[in-house]
């Protein structure tokens, strides 16, 4: 005998079945929709050690010289210069030198910037000699909190002397001891290869 409870159970079963079917159909339709690529909305990050545009970085080394370049946008040539940190006999950093090429047509084919400590006698000037030769004197251009700067021009003869030499001596005079000289070794190992990889600076 069919009771009201049996009829109610049958109706409920049909209703629940229909709801389940509707949910399954909706889920299937949702699954059939094309999924947008999530990657288009996400930043994948970049190497934290990679230099950013405008940042100076060491591209490579040529024996005792670093090749320092400035990162630029893709498709443009990076400006590069040679760099060396000069130390005293105890291994303490004292001065640094950067060398770059200049456009052709002038007396100087390369330029150099030498940075020395603030406690340097400016009147004594800067002296650079190669392999114990006579060398040249250069005036200092200016000083700032970093140090005192000598901006010098190098002729073709100067550059050729660096290429043939083994080491250059950079001599500075302390301000508080004008009767003394501090001689720093500027290694010329790798100079020729490094000079070839430096670029022309127009400004």
Write the pLDDT tens digit of every residue in 27-86: 455 555 556 566 667 766 666 666 677 788 999 999 999 999 999 887 668 899 999 999
Instruction: Say if CB 68 and CB 56 are below 8 A apart.
Output: yes
Instruction: Determine, yes or no, domain membership for 18.
Output: no
Instruction: Determine, yes or no, domain membership for 158.
Output: yes
Closest to 184 in 3D by CA, of 174, 169, 173: 169
The more confident residue out of 19 and 133 is 133
Q: 9 pLDDT exceeds 60?
A: no
Instruction: Determine, yes or no, domain membership for 185.
Output: yes
- Sheet holding 126-130: strands in order across? 136-138, 126-130, 167-172, 182-187
User: What is the per-residue pLDDT for 74?
Assistant: 76
57: β partners = 69
Instruction: Determine, yes or no, domain membership for 16.
Output: no
Cα 180 off chain centre by:
36
Who's near 60: CB < 8 A, 6+ residues apart? 66, 67, 197
Tell me, what CATH number does 85's domain have? 2.60.40.1880
Q: 17 pLDDT exceeds 50?
A: no
Range of the domain at 112: 80-197
Q: 1 pLDDT exceeds 50?
A: no
The more confident residue out of 190 and 13 is 190
CA–CA dist 185, 68 (Å, integer)? 20
Instruction: Determine, yes or no, domain membership for 4.
Output: no
User: What is the per-residue pLDDT for 37?
Assistant: 61
CA–CA dist 89, 195 (Å, integer)? 26
Q: 21 pLDDT exceeds 70?
A: no
Please give the torsion angle defined by the CA atoms of residues 61, 67, 69 and 74, in that order, rounded to the nearest 10 degrees: -60
**DSSP letters spanning the chain:** ---HHHHHHHHHHHHHHHHHHHHHHHHHHHHHSPPPPGGGGS-----TTSPPTT-EEEEEEETTEEEEEE---TTSPPPEEEEEEEE-TTS-EEEEEEEEE--TTSS-SEEEEEEE-TTB-STT-EEEEETT---EEE---EEETTEEEEEEEE-HHHHHHHHH-SEEEEEE-BTT-TT--EEEEEE-TTHHHHHHHS-B---
The predicted model gives 118-130 an average pLDDT of: 96
Overall domain count for the chain:
1
Kindly indicate the confidence band of residue 114, based on its pLDDT and cuts at 50, 70 and 90: very high
Instruction: Determine, yes or no, domain membership for 71.
Output: no
User: What is the per-residue pLDDT for 53?
Assistant: 79
pLDDT in tens, 139-186: 999 999 999 999 999 999 999 999 999 999 999 999 999 899 999 999
The predicted model gives 176-197 an average pLDDT of: 95
Instruction: Determine, yes or no, domain membership for 173.
Output: yes
Instruction: Determine, yes or no, domain membership for 45.
Output: no
């Amino acid at each position: 005998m069919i009771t009201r409870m049996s009829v109610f159970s049958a109706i409920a079963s049909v209703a629940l079945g229909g709801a389940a079917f509707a949910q399954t159909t909706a889920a299937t339709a949702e699954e059939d929709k094309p999924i947008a690529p999530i990657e288009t909305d996400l930043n994948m990050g970049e190497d934290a050690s990679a230099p950013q545009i405008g940042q100076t970085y060491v591209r490579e080394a040529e024996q005792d010289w670093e090749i320092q370049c400035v990162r630029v946008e893709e498709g443009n040539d990076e400006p590069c210069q040679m760099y060396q940190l000069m130390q005293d006999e105890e291994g303490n950093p004292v001065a640094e030198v950067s060398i770059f090429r200049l456009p052709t047509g002038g007396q100087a084919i390369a330029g150099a910037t030498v940075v020395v400590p603030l406690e340097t006698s400016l009147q004594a000037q800067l002296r650079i000699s190669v392999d114990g030769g006579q060398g040249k004197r250069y005036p200092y251009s200016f000083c700032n909190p970093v140090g005192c700067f000598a901006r010098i021009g190098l002729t073709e003869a100067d550059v050729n002397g660096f290429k043939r030499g083994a080491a250059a001596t950079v001599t500075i005079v302390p301000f508080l001891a004008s009767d003394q000289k501090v001689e720093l070794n500027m290694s010329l190992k790798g100079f020729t290869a490094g000079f070839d990889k430096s670029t022309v600076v127009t400004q």
